[in-house]
Amino acid sequence: MRKESRNMQQANLANIQGYHQGGTWSDRESYVSQGFNGLYYLNSDRKIKLDDDYRRADGQPLQGFGLEIETECHGTRNTAVLAEVFQNIIFPKFKFGDVQFKMQEDGSLGGDSSVEVISQVMTKSRIRNDYAAYKLMFDTYFQSFGITADARHTSCGMHVNVSNACFGKTEAQQRENVMKLHYMLNKHFSVLSSALYRPLDKTYWCDRMDKDTMEGYQIDSRTAEKYDYRNARNVTDLSDAPKSHHCCLNMSHFRAGRVEIRLVGGQRDYYCFRNTMETVFFLCDRVRSLKWEELDDIKTIFRGCNQYVMKRLPDCGLDAETLEAIRATVKTEDLELAR
């Protein structure tokens, strides 16, 4: 027993596969790629190897979502121990646990220790098929180990990166629909903050993108005026999109093939996570079918949503007439069992 004890490794971040110390948000090499055990595109039942530029060998576009789940732990002071809990206990519950996630530090987080969990690019069906594993993560292991990701009580967020191809087949379609999403998030900022579980008093890192807000956030006044959401319909070039972590929709990575919805808040439990992800999926699909003039009507935006999105809307400050009009169009989907 003594000999075995001497050979036991102490908790050490250097021993944690995929964990790294972070890097600046603009450092693509350290922030996006570093730490993964190979780059993959995860669809419903398999993993597809990607090259260093996140491209498939067959040239097919990625239509996926990448999650950044910020967590804080209260009671475990050793970050290496927290990272080992994720690596050895939580991640193996997911189908592609060995390659699905990486971890890194985030200086904005509190708690006794903290870890930001970042996923590979995953299709909607992959995330849905892992709902049972997310339920174990949020409702069993997080509670057992004192881990929280709840934006209501911590500084945590859950940003969602969306592949350009989710917005259309051509670059022109993708650009227009990204700008529709940009307009919609800003036009209905308070409603969609609640729909994405982001408290309005905690939007400093994901603020509304109007001229007054954007000025001073690493961009000049010319760019701020150009990206005022009221001018969204006239934007035809995203080459100088705002490169600020203060944007509710970070479009600065559009040329690299993705945009980042930063307005998504940290999640309190599995049901909150599921309803939020279903809202993200719905809104990203919805902008492809909506006309510009329809974006001003919240009833039109949420028409035809599923029951999981509908569960979120009563907390969004909508009047009874609007809620009933949307509820009458709800399409039922059964997503309780992961396949």
Query: Each residue of 35-46: pLDDT tens digit?
Result: 788 999 999 999
Instruction: Report pTM.
Output: 0.93
List alpha helices for the chain, DSSP H: 2-7, 28, 79-85, 97-100, 124-129, 131-135, 142-144, 171-187, 189-195, 211-214, 221-226, 270-286, 298-302, 307-310, 320-327
Contact 224, 21 (CB under 8 A): no
pLDDT in tens, 62-100: 999 999 999 999 989 999 999 999 999 999 999 999 899
Q: What does the block give as tokens for 141? A: 């292991």
The rounded percent of the chain whose pLDDT value lies above 70 is 92
pLDDT of residue 50: 95
Asked if the model's pLDDT at residue 221 lies above 90, the reply is: no
Cα radius of gyration (the chain): 20
Q: Could you tell me if 299 and 322 are in contact, meaning their C-beta atoms sit under 8 angstroms apart?
A: yes
Looking at the predicted structure, is the pLDDT value of residue 54 above 70?
Answer: yes
Mean per-residue pLDDT of the chain: 90
pLDDT at 25: 45
pLDDT at position 32 is 65
CB atoms closer than 10 angstroms to residue 103: 24
